[in-house]
């Protein structure tokens, strides 16, 4: 049933639209981030990840659509091939122009980025930075000279005089702070332009170490919140040899304008260096951004192809769905009318009118059906008195009803299992395994109706059941389910087969056997009369021809005799029979120096109820067939084995006839027991067919197979005589095996 993909496809369209908008927004932000290095480093990777996640979502959605389209294409769903063609056209139309734009845009961007990094611009920035450094260095040296002059005035000053001299020297110079301290780091005196500042700005240990190493120290430092200052450190000789030289520090301010210009040049140069460093990443980022745009365009085009294809093929699918519904008998199906009033809309409207009229006619039929349902109770009473077994099951294979005939045929009181599942019935009654397994297999196939022949063993031996099943519709408060009807055709099949082969034998005797004697006599008369009259080649020709006619007539007589033997209705005289003793008697008749016989007979086997002559005929056919089997190498060797098989219903006696020949051909092994199937040049093809007939007359089963070690085996199982208990011994050969395992 095709349903209009409004809800699912609307949700999918909204999701794709949201993802597409997010991707476009993130792509725009990626382009903006490439213009700002700080923003580029901070969010570009996140934006790329967001785009990749969005593209993965699109790929997943497209993958789901492609998988659905692939399944529909394999199932030959209407419109699937049109959808494939539309998708190919959409993707091709989108891919060609976008690929051309992608290629030229990529080339343009790479060349533009390369043009940003001109050698003259880089040289100008380097020259500006060098010029600013030279100017600043010149000024700093002037400040160093000025500091040296001030330091010479403090050479012979005592600690008391140092504070006064520092104030005078600071007033005369442009410094903001002067400080004199001992070599131990103790501050002797200081003077600051700001009287509020009491504690001077002391140099660090690294500065003092550089001063002692170089004799002086000067550098551009940032002093607290006062801005950039030039710091100068010098050693001042002391008149006291014990305290050693003193350290003089001066701080000169740098004007704000000079500081701004210096920072501007430094920032410009750092920005340029950063751009040089980001040159290749920028190329990669633009390439990645354009690639994501290309991929996004292709994916959106593919998804748009799915959208367009669904909208185009939807009316066709709806019409096909309605046609199938009508074909299946559903006349209540109403097709949704397309939004546009075109030829397709007119066709859908006509279809709805047709189904509505048919539905009115069907409603009358349903009314009659409701009247028939009122007689359901009456029919159930009739079913319980049918000779056929009837079982009804729910949809989950729970037994609903069973009639008396089913209990009699299966020899199980199934009334007690109403409401139980088939698995529960099988676990309590293993002898129903074959029957229930066949029912399970057929129900799993889901066919509305089915027929199957089931062969099983009951207390009387081999039983043939003809089973028929059908699906039941739900009626009233009773849900849908299944009905199984089966009959015991064992006797009927045997009688039909005997009657059919009897008729064939009668026709064969009338049509073939009667003319054979006149043909043979005429050939012999012709030979005796004309052979003395003919000499040379003509006499030889007559002799060979008449001999051939006589020989072939004899062959045809033997074939008709064998076929009549196969078709003859059985008149069994069954007696309790020891199969081991009968095998021994048969092997005594086949003593030969060229053939090796061996018997592996299980002791204590129960007897079987069989016709001695028919079983002897079966053994002769099997042994003769084994002797005449093709042997490529080695002496013919035949082994006959017997053993006891314990079954769920009855015990079985198995007899195996094994030879060491070339085995049965694979192409006919499934038809070995059919009449006229043989691989021997002079065989009639009735030996194994007669064997199967005799086995089935005695309620047994037969199977043939090739052995992996070479040779072939024919295995036969007869029901053991009821009440005859096996006597276990060391060679009892008792095994546990089900009939279905044997037939497998």
Task: Supply the angle between the helices 490-508 and 537-567 in degrees, to the nearest 10.
Answer: 160
CA–CA dist 524, 515 (Å, integer) = 15
Residues 611 and 698: beta-carbon distance below 8 Å = yes
* pLDDT for 341: 64
Query: What tokens were used for 323?
Result: 């046609």
DSSP assigned state of 510: I
**Number of continuous H segments (helices) and E segments (strands) in the chain:** 20, 18
CA–CA dist 504, 569 (Å, integer) = 12
Query: What tokens were used for 615?
Result: 């079983």
Residues 654 and 715: beta-carbon distance below 8 Å = yes
* pLDDT for 683: 63
Unique residue bearing structure tokens 């593209």: 55
Nearest to 585 by CA among 627, 635, 623: 623
* pLDDT for 328: 74
For each successive 10 residues of the chain (744 residues), what is the average pLDDT? 47 66 64 56 66 74 78 77 78 78 73 60 61 69 79 76 78 80 80 77 82 80 71 78 75 70 66 63 68 73 73 72 75 67 70 78 72 67 76 87 84 85 86 85 86 79 83 69 85 70 65 75 83 82 85 77 64 87 85 79 91 88 85 81 84 92 81 74 72 86 87 91 63 49 49
Nearest to 180 by CA among 201, 198, 166: 166
3-state secondary structure (DSSP) of residue 626: helix
**CA distances, 507 to each of 44, 514, 568, 673 (Å):** 97, 10, 13, 23
DSSP assigned state of 475: B
Nearest to 145 by CA among 173, 180, 171: 173
Helices of type H across 178-255: 205-214
* pLDDT for 281: 65
Question: Within 13 Å, how many C-alpha atoms sit on residue 426's CB side?
Answer: 13
Alpha carbon distance, N-terminus to C-terminus of the chain: 40
Q: What is the dihedral of CA 720, 726, 729, 733, to 10 degrees?
A: 30
CA–CA dist 686, 645 (Å, integer) = 29
Unique residue bearing structure tokens 């600051």: 192
The residues near 345 (Cβ < 8 Å, ≥ 6 apart) are 337, 338
E-assigned strands of 513-595? 574-577
Is residue 498 classed exposed, middle or buried when 0-12, 13-18 and 19+ CB atoms within 10 A define those classes? middle
CA–CA dist 726, 579 (Å, integer) = 13
* pLDDT for 732: 45
* pLDDT for 655: 94
Nearest to 443 by CA among 396, 407, 506: 396
* pLDDT for 326: 75
CA–CA dist 531, 542 (Å, integer) = 7
The residues near 680 (Cβ < 8 Å, ≥ 6 apart) are 628
Nearest to 718 by CA among 735, 697, 734: 697
CA–CA dist 145, 252 (Å, integer) = 12
* pLDDT for 5: 45
Residues 571 and 498: beta-carbon distance below 8 Å = no
CA–CA dist 505, 117 (Å, integer) = 110
CA–CA dist 733, 78 (Å, integer) = 62
CA–CA dist 84, 106 (Å, integer) = 32
Question: Within 13 Å, how many C-alpha atoms sit on residue 396's CB side?
Answer: 5
* pLDDT for 735: 54
3-state secondary structure (DSSP) of residue 108: helix
Nearest to 695 by CA among 742, 736, 735: 742
Give CA 458 to chain center in angstroms: 43
Question: Within 13 Å, how many C-alpha atoms sit on residue 359's CB side?
Answer: 13
Question: Within 13 Å, how many C-alpha atoms sit on residue 315's CB side?
Answer: 16
Residue 659 CB: number of other CB atoms within 10 A? Answer: 25
**Bridge pairing between strands 712-719 and 734-736:** unpaired
List the beta bridge partners of residue 401.
Answer: 392
* pLDDT for 654: 93
């Amino acid at each position: 049933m095709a349903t209009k993909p409004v809800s699912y496809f609307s949700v999918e369209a909204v999701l794709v639209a949201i993802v597409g908008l997010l991707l476009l927004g993130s792509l725009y932000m990626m382009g903006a981030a490439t213009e700002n290095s700080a923003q580029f480093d901070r969010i570009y990777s996140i934006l790329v990840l967001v785009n990749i996640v969005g593209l993965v979502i699109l790929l997943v959605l497209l993958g789901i659509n492609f998988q659905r389209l692939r399944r529909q294409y394999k199932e030959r769903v209407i419109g699937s091939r049109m959808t494939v063609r539309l998708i190919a056209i959409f993707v091709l139309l989108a891919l060609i122009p976008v690929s051309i734009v992608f290629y030229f845009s990529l080339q343009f961007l790479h060349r533009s980025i390369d043009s940003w990094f001109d050698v003259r611009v880089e040289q100008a920035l380097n020259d500006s930075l060098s010029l600013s450094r030279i100017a600043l260095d010149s000024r700093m040296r002037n400040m160093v000279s000025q500091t040296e002059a001030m330091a010479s005035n403090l050479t012979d000053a005592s600690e008391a005089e140092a504070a006064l001299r520092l104030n005078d020297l600071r007033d005369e110079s442009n410094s903001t702070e002067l400080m004199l301290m001992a070599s131990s780091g103790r501050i002797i005196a200081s003077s600051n332009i700001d009287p509020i500042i009491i504690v001077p700005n002391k140099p660090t240990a690294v500065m003092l170490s550089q001063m002692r190493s170089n004799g002086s120290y000067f550098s551009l430092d940032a002093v607290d919140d006062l801005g950039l200052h030039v710091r100068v450190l010098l050693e001042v000789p002391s008149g006291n040899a014990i305290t050693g030289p003193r350290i003089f520090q001066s701080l000169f301010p740098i004007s704000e304008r000079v500081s701004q210009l210096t920072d501007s040049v430094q920032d410009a140069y750092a920005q340029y260096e950063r751009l040089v460093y980001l040159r290749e990443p920028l190329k990669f980022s633009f390439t990645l951004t354009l690639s994501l745009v290309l991929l996004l365009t292709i994916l959106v085009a593919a998804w748009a192809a799915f959208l367009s294809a669904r909208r185009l093929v939807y009316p066709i699918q709806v019409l096909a769905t309605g046609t199938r519904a009508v074909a299946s008998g559903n006349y209540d199906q109403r097709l949704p009318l397309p939004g546009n009033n075109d030829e397709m809309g007119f066709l859908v409207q006509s279809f709805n009118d047709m189904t509505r009229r048919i539905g009115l006619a069907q409603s009358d039929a349903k009314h009659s059906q409701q009247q028939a349902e009122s007689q359901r109770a009456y029919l159930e009473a009739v079913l319980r008195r049918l000779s056929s077994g009837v079982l009804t099951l729910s949809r989950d294979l729970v037994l609903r009803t069973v009639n008396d005939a089913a209990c009699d045929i299966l020899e199980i009181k199934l009334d007690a299992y109403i409401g139980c599942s088939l698995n529960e019935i099988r676990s309590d009654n293993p002898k129903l395994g074959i029957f229930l397994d066949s029912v399970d297999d057929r129900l799993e196939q889901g066919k509305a109706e089915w027929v199957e022949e089931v062969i099983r063993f009951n207390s009387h031996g081999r039983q043939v059941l003809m089973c028929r099943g059908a699906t039941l519709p739900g009626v009233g408060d009773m849900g849908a389910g299944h009905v199984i009807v089966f009959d015991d055709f064992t006797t009927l099949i045997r009688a039909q087969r005997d009657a059919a082969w009897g008729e064939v034998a009668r026709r064969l005797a009338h049509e073939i056997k009667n003319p054979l004697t006149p043909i043979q006599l005429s050939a012999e008369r012709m030979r005796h009369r004309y052979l003395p009259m003919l000499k040379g080649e003509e006499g030889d020709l007559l002799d060979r021809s008449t001999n051939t006619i006589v020989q072939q007539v004899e062959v045809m007589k033997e074939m008709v005799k064998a076929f009549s033997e196969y078709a003859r209705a059985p008149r069994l005289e069954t007696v309790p029979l020891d199969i081991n003793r009968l095998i021994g008697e048969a092997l005594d008749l086949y003593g030969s120096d060229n053939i090796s016989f061996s018997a592996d007979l299980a002791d204590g086997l129960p007897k079987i109820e069989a016709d001695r002559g028919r079983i002897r005929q079966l053994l002769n056919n099997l042994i003769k067939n084994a002797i005449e089997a093709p042997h490529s190498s080695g002496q013919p060797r035949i082994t006959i084995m017997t053993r006891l098989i314990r079954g769920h219903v009855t015990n079985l006696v198995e007899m195996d006839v094994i030879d060491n020949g070339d085995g049965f051909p694979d192409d006919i092994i499934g038809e070995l027991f059919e009449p006229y199937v043989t691989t021997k040049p002079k065989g009639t093809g009735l030996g194994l067919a007669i064997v199967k007939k005799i086995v089935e007359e005695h309620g047994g089963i037969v199977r043939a197979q090739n052995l992996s070690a070479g040779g072939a085996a024919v295995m036969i199982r007869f029901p053991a005589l009821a009440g005859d208990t096996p006597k276990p011994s060391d060679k009892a050969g008792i095994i546990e095996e089900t009939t279905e395992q044997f037939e497998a």
